[in-house]
Copies of this chain bind each other. A is one copy, B any other.
Amino acid sequence: MALIVKKFGGSSVATPDKMRTVVRRVLQGMQEDDKVVLVVSAMGDTTDELVSLARQVTSKPYGREMDMLLSTGEQISIALMAMAFKEAGHKAVSFTGAQAGIVTSNAFNKGRILEINADRVTEALDEGNIVIVAGFQGMTDDGDITTLGRGGSDTTAVAVAGAVNADACEIYTDVDGIYTSDPRVVPNARKMEEITYVEMLEMAKLGAGVMQPRAVEMGSRFNVPIHVRSTFSEAAGTMIQEDYSMEVKQYLIRGVAEDKNVAKVTILGVPNKPGHAYRIFSGLADRNIDVDMIVQSVRYANEGVTDITFTVSRDDAALVRDVLTAMQGDMNIEDVLIDQNMGKVSVVGAGMAGHPGIAASMFGLMA
């Protein structure tokens, strides 16, 4: 007997036909006594269509109401998937994020999972159901519906796997595993059989795209093995886990990642006094802006001021400008420069530490 959480993304459940394919695949792969939780996303373009509806009503990001709207996408999927399993003769029941006991912070549009009260899911599994949980959503302690932001369904799947103590979490996707680099960019990229949470986290944070970093962190925290594999083939994909299960050749460099969605922010002339950087970054944190690399440089000509440069997701650039403009006069900041035309290339690998010259090779290749 195994207890497996399987996550299927929006393209895997885009039509009733595709849903039936998922149902067949899940049922064929089940041994007797296996228990299965399915986490599914909204069908195909549903989320985009809902966003477009909202845009016809307002251009403003009303977080709570947007989450009320967007969460219907997954709710539609889970209801239809449960019907599809029943139609195929298997007991099934669907749960919204709230019904699955997923409690989140009240950061609308980017809720974080605080805890999961999985009693209802566990009971339904014990009654012989395939349990279908809406990805990407949860509910605050106040009873407000939240969504988890980009890639939230991966996070839901891994978190639920942790909460029900699943043997593994399978992430079904349109690629067949994690590659050493983006195969669309680097033709000789290799698929990895295994990768550790820590390495994957570096890869994911750096924009490798396949797995959401929060989901990988969640896997590491609950020690849930995550199997990233193809929706369209039975072949094994890549297993993300605590350590290698077999002798794996220790590559110096584990992977190369790129991120094209970067904006660079430079704040010129910040008074060089304790508390100023704190004030800037807590102002950004209050708006849930994720700051990536930070460089602070003191000017030789004027030791009283410093320049701070950092990177953020390009999507947050406008919000960053709002936050910084609001504090500019008050803090005597000279100027704020935002360059949205940035990218980032990173090489990942624990083995690099003892091998000088990697940075030189990289700059050589880029040149």
Contact = CB atoms under 8 A, between A and B. Distances in A.
A54 interface: yes
Contacts of A175: none
A68 B57 contact: no
Interface stretch (A83-91, A232-240, A289-297): A83-91
A115 B330 CA distance: 53
A118 interface: no
A16 B81 CA distance: 30
Interface in A1-44: 16, 19-20
A60 B79 contact: no
Interface stretch (A70-78, A263-271, A298-306, A334-342): A70-78
A58 B76 contact: no
A56 B79 CA distance: 13
B69 A86 contact: no
A13 B83 CA distance: 29
A282 to B, nearest CB: 27
Given A54-B83, A72-B75, A72-B76, 18 more contacts: A16-B56, A19-B57, A53-B76, A54-B79, A57-B80, A58-B84, A60-B86, A60-B87, A65-B80, A65-B83, A66-B79, A68-B79, A68-B94, A68-B96, A69-B80, A71-B75, A72-B72, A99-B143
Interface of A: 16, 19-20, 50, 53-54, 56-58, 60, 62, 64-66, 68-69, 71-72, 75-76, 78-80, 82-84, 86-87, 93-94, 96, 99, 120, 143-145
20 contacts: A16-B53, A16-B56, A16-B57, A53-B76, A54-B80, A57-B80, A57-B83, A57-B84, A58-B83, A60-B87, A62-B83, A62-B86, A65-B80, A65-B86, A65-B94, A68-B75, A68-B82, A68-B94, A68-B96, A99-B143
| Interchain residue pairs A-B with the least CB separation, the first 8 | A69-B79, A72-B72, A68-B79, A16-B56, A58-B87, A65-B82, A58-B83, A57-B83
